[in-house]
Structure 1
């Protein structure tokens, strides 16, 4: 299996966070630390290089010692714009993306997605989760992609494409279903952030 040294990690922190009141979500405190620090801590053992995709507060993000890159597409074009920025800077064969607002994502995310990519010869593999009712939910921003998909993504964006699943459909892609739904809990609102913090404090 390909060593993790060949995977660049991309933390998506470039959104507008409208449901958070427009504040920079990556810098919001969670369990006493900014969300970006949780993402870096969980992603670092799974990759060698980390890129932070941010469209504001670059001076704050650069203090973490990783390259900070902005979207090349204007108007906060969503996670695909972050993917495009990451692929442009990526020097390894693979790029693994995670959002900044899911502070307990799996520590074996890289390993599982890469195993699936190698076994299916996919160009892109994303995570999925199962909820308590047995329904499967896609988690598309947790995504491992080959650097070679860069041209496909650029063409999709240039044509006005923004929906992440539409782009996935155009590629040889696959998914890995993770049983722990809570691992992908994200924090789109202050209430969700507080609720997740309470759950984690209660379990410790």
Structure 2
């Protein structure tokens, strides 16, 4: 298996360059990367282009992260908006493996939860996309996305009028290829997204109060 941090979004709501925005004095890329490294699997950043890759590499190097531990996967489908382009680029590279995807704006994910997702995927021989679901909607990250998804996305792109991630989930659910977990049994910090600067300030405030 591989661990991939999705870091190729525009980050418009946070003012751009989301991986570089600081939380508790360090960039989001640093926090999520360190969580991912605790899983003891190869870690990659999924990015739109080399400019994004260079910025993330530079900020991590300044924090003494060895250059040889930082790997990037460039987006092969920049014409697609949203995380579906990054996911497709990654699963097309690792067609015979399963990938644990993390979002760059989830710096409070617990390694124990990630290891549980990995174990669950192994129990089912990586036959399912594994996601969490609340009362209102699916929570796509953290989640397991097997390499066989490459072929399914190719079909989905041909038949769907729009290419949103949640349309893809509906397509996969109809085919019985998704395993959803009830999020009421999971610590909510695993799904906390810091989408805006206000979100970061509120999360920092809660962290210091604790």
What is the TM-score normalised by the length of structure 1?
0.82
Q: Are the equivalent residues in 2 in contact too, given 1:54–1:70 (CA < 8 A)?
A: yes
Size of the aligned set, in residue pairs, is: 191
Q: Structure 1 residues 76, 194: closer, same or farther in 2, change over 3 A?
A: farther
1:61 corresponds to which of 56, 61, 68: 56
1:112 corresponds to which of 116, 119, 124: 116
| Structure 2 residue 142 is the aligned partner of structure 1 residue 142 | yes
Q: Structure 1 residues 167, 91: closer, same or farther in 2, change over 3 A?
A: closer
Give the structure 2 partner of residue 175 of structure 1: 180
| Structure 2 residue 192 is the aligned partner of structure 1 residue 185 | yes
Give the structure 1 partner of residue 133 of structure 2: 128
Q: Structure 1 residues 116, 176: closer, same or farther in 2, change over 3 A?
A: farther
2:27 corresponds to which of 27, 31, 34: 34
Give the structure 2 partner of residue 196 of structure 1: 203
Q: Structure 1: state its 5+ residue gaps.
A: 1-6, 130-134
- Secondary structure at 2:111 match in 1: coil
